[in-house]
Amino acid sequence: MRAVYILQRTFAMLSKHFLVFILLMLCIIPAVFGQDAADPDALKDQGNALYKEGDLDGAIALWEEAIVADSSYAFAYNNIGIAYYDKKEFQIAVVYLNTAVNLDSTYTKAYNSLGNAYLAHGDLENAKTSYEKSIALDSNDEEKHNNLGNVFLALGDFDSAVASYEEALDMNKNFVPALNNIGIIKQKRKDMGGASESFRKAIKADSESIQAYINLGVLFYGEGDEYLLKAVEYFDKAMAIDSENHQLRYNYGLALYKKGDMLKAASHLKKAAELAPDNPDIHYALGLTQAERNLKDLAVKSFEKALEIDPEYKNAQIGLAYANTIN
């Protein structure tokens, strides 16, 4: 009997210790897994910090981790889409941004970003739809109206474009992008005075608006030889703001080419080609300056580069054929 009693007591003690062990494990396991579980908000913030530093791939990796932690995390999809947009991988950007708005149909900023990606990809109708959805959710944003205006401008619907730009200016009369864009439409409509006025308003609103100075330069060199010096003056002002702008260097080069200063034109266009190596128009223009100076090998190389980027570039084909005739 004593043996049975001892055995029963032993089992009781074991049961008690086993119960304590189980309770301890129930306390420990959540703590351990809590330490290992990823926090999507923290990952998003860490990714945002890398994005601000210009580390797009690092930011994307962290946001992807956030999605692994929470597959319904729309913010991460939006941010990844924006990063791919910055990397000029527009099709991938569209996929992520579409996921963001599918997860959250009220995500107005994601719709705006999606519109940007569609526009850059050349899908104007979907860009228009995305911007309109973003505006329907929150219309109090001048940038959105300006973006929608850009779609209408690309579609050639100038009246609708101007209406959208004016919506932006109703919210902020000094919104420089809208002032510049209205000037561009006036220029397309051959209203040189109106275009000049719009570009000058942009400069008054922001004296560092390099785009307004470039637009004025382009406006003047497009009006004839008598305006070339004025164009050069505005390009010089833009150079003082940012000499690393490829659009500025390209247009400055064209103005100097038209002026007959091939050496300086080539210098600006060569720099533009370094800044934007995948732009066929720049390589074509550089080839023209080299052909004018009878630099056959350089001209052929520039025209061939333009055709490598765009095999259907007719003017580059003509330029290459001419360059090959240079002795």
pLDDT at 226: 81
| pTM value > 0.95 | no
* Any domain includes 58: yes
- The three-class DSSP label of residue 324 is coil
pLDDT at 221: 87
Structural domain span for residue 78: 35-130
Identify the CATH number of the domain in which residue 64 sits: 1.25.40.10
* Any domain includes 294: no
* Any domain includes 229: no
* Any domain includes 88: yes
* Any domain includes 49: yes
pLDDT at 222: 81
pLDDT at 227: 87
pLDDT at 70: 94
* Any domain includes 48: yes
Contacts by residues 302-305 (CB-CB < 8 Å, ≥ 24 positions apart): 302/273, 305/280
* Any domain includes 122: yes
pLDDT at 37: 59
Is-contact 96 77, C-beta < 8 A? yes
Number of domains in the chain: 1
pLDDT at 3: 40
Find the length of the chain: 327
Quick count: other Cβ atoms within 10 Å of Cβ 196? 18
pLDDT under 70 in the chain at which residues?
1-37
| H helix count then E strand count, the chain | 18, 0
* Any domain includes 307: no
Is-contact 78 66, C-beta < 8 A? no
- Cα 130 to Cα 98, 107, 148, 171, 280, distances in angstroms: 10, 11, 9, 21, 30
pLDDT at 23: 34
Looking at residue 80, the DSSP 8-state letter turns out to be H
pLDDT at 25: 40
